[in-house]
Structure 1
């Protein structure tokens, strides 16, 4: 049996629409992500368990993880023995935490290990992006790549090996708050402008390139000072109840930035101290999330997708 864990991630990371993503690791040691378990079986079998399994279609053919198994057997490892694939769905659907990416990444990574196909990093990322596109409507890497590789990743088709790891200040904390309701990714994309003005395009390019360069030269405070989302946040914020109030209130508690994680509705903050992160988390628990929501103080998950055990 092979059990593989894939962590939640923050897509866009404010300044990097469809290009920047960060994997999350709660500081309390809990696993915030999905798990795929592959074991030998008399015939192919699929089971979906976990806290959010009931939110997925009951028909295996409509489940993204099962679709990954069918594709893997048909196109990657036709001689692989029959398997039982269990997806432990621990992330809410439509949360803005890379939930579909978690399912895809964990499944393909587990199948690759089980079948000993030894796909390269780029081959796996491309395969994962193909199936993430089924949900998101395009081959976006900003959840797939950090989920798989860990850390903060600048990622895309124009980048060699699909990704460049960017350093961050090790003192930074990230507060991720899921309010308890879902936001359909397609709906969140539909409100975005179809075109950018020349001015907006140039400013986006300058901001992302400067942010990346400042991180690479360890000018972390300067990087934080230009960390804002002018591409998606202004259009998505009205879809997320309570976001504008949080963005107005949290800086006074120590949040250096408040922005939307991926397509939302999860928001995230960057804080320089644990005390500030705790204050932000307390406010969010009281004012932003409902009984179905959650809030985690995190560091970056630098390990990315990993095998939990071999039995």
Structure 2
């Protein structure tokens, strides 16, 4: 059996709407993401199982499941002679969380199928496959969850970026607190509230922030880069959809958060600090004030490993 893990990710990363994304790794060492297990089928036919903490959110015909659709597509268009397999999606991320949940399922599925079938697809080929299926959910060909989930790190990504993704250097001292409040926010709904057009002033500011942030990361000026992490494109319109976000935006800087932003389309909140003590205080506040009984909060670092095959027993350590 092959088990492939795909980590959660935070799209937009405040300053890079639709273009930046960071893979996340809890400092506890636990896995925050989806796992796909694949092995030969004893029945001689492809089999599919959806399990895990959030499997019930994907209840219904297997044909509606993205991971199963990946299997069907892979057999029909990539490897028609692949041996019959049993593919299990272990759904460990909540749907509609702002943590790249659909990207996790798609990335883990295609990476596992590529390993199982020994097709040895290139990075560009796999990213293209993954983006095709992410489009089914988000309505657009976005890489800001797909690329960091698959490649790890902080990625600047898009159709105009060479190979669709470019890794940016990051500060090893960054502490990223991600808090899922316990309720879903549909990506389509989060996009529907955005304006169809923005002013020339807003466009120029966005371009300045993202280009300067990128240049500062490459030159190692991380504190100056953090100072530019502000979302003027989506956050002003989405924050009213997320109960408690406005309060957190006021409270967390007093605890040391240098950035407070919406992760992806929300409702997960992303806070950034460079202090472990401050990260713990931020995490505690969020657990007390931002989460319902179904929510969670984790202190994370950037996951530079990305999608990977797990060693025996690793899949048991779920965040």
Q: Distance in 1 between matches of 2:153 and 2:19?
A: 14
Q: Distance in 2 between matches of 1:310 and 1:297?
A: 25
In 2, are the aligned partners of 1:47 and 1:86 still within 8 Å (CA)? yes
Deviations 1:267-294 (A, max 9, x none): 0101111001000000000000011000
Which one of the candidate residues 218, 239, 242 is aligned to 1:216? 218
Secondary structure of the structure 2 residue equivalent to 1:255: coil
Q: Distance in 2 between matches of 1:262 and 1:124?
A: 22
Q: Distance in 1 between matches of 2:312 and 2:106?
A: 20
Which one of the candidate residues 128, 141, 150 is aligned to 1:139? 141
| Structure 2 residue aligned with 1:73 | 75
- Displacement of 1:20 in angstroms is 0.1
Which one of the candidate residues 174, 183, 189 is aligned to 2:191? 189
- Displacement of 1:58 in angstroms is 2.1
The within-5 A match list for 1:170-181 is: 170-181=172-183
- Displacement of 1:265 in angstroms is 0.1
Q: Distance in 1 between matches of 2:32 and 2:228?
A: 28
Q: Distance in 2 between matches of 1:168 and 1:247?
A: 23
| Structure 1 residue aligned with 2:56 | 54
| Structure 1 residue aligned with 2:231 | 229
Runs of 4+ in 1 over 4 A off after TM superposition: none
Q: Distance in 2 between matches of 1:57 and 1:123?
A: 30
| Structure 2 residue aligned with 1:94 | 96
| Structure 2 residue aligned with 1:31 | 31
Deviations 1:201-234 (A, max 9, x none): 1111111000000010011111111110000000
Secondary structure of the structure 2 residue equivalent to 1:39: strand
| Structure 2 residue aligned with 1:161 | 163
| Structure 2 residue aligned with 1:261 | 263
In 2, are the aligned partners of 1:2 and 1:310 still within 8 Å (CA)? no
In 2, are the aligned partners of 1:38 and 1:114 still within 8 Å (CA)? yes
In 2, are the aligned partners of 1:172 and 1:299 still within 8 Å (CA)? yes
| Structure 2 residue aligned with 1:288 | 290
Across the two proteins, how many residue pairs are aligned to each other?
Answer: 311
Q: Distance in 2 between matches of 1:85 and 1:65?
A: 9
| Structure 2 residue aligned with 1:252 | 254
Q: Distance in 2 between matches of 1:35 and 1:58?
A: 20
Which one of the candidate residues 304, 307, 310 is aligned to 1:305? 307
| Structure 1 residue aligned with 2:40 | 40
| Structure 2 residue aligned with 1:13 | 13
- Displacement of 1:309 in angstroms is 3.6
- Displacement of 1:296 in angstroms is 0.1
In 2, are the aligned partners of 1:2 and 1:309 still within 8 Å (CA)? no
Q: Distance in 2 between matches of 1:293 and 1:134?
A: 26
In 2, are the aligned partners of 1:2 and 1:110 still within 8 Å (CA)? yes
- Displacement of 1:169 in angstroms is 1.1
Which one of the candidate residues 108, 111, 116 is aligned to 1:109? 111
- Displacement of 1:197 in angstroms is 1.1
Q: Distance in 2 between matches of 1:306 and 1:288?
A: 32
Q: Distance in 1 between matches of 2:120 and 2:311?
A: 18
5+ residue gaps in structure 1? none
5+ residue gaps in structure 2? 314-319
- Displacement of 1:310 in angstroms is 7.6
| Structure 2 residue aligned with 1:275 | 277
- Displacement of 1:199 in angstroms is 1.1
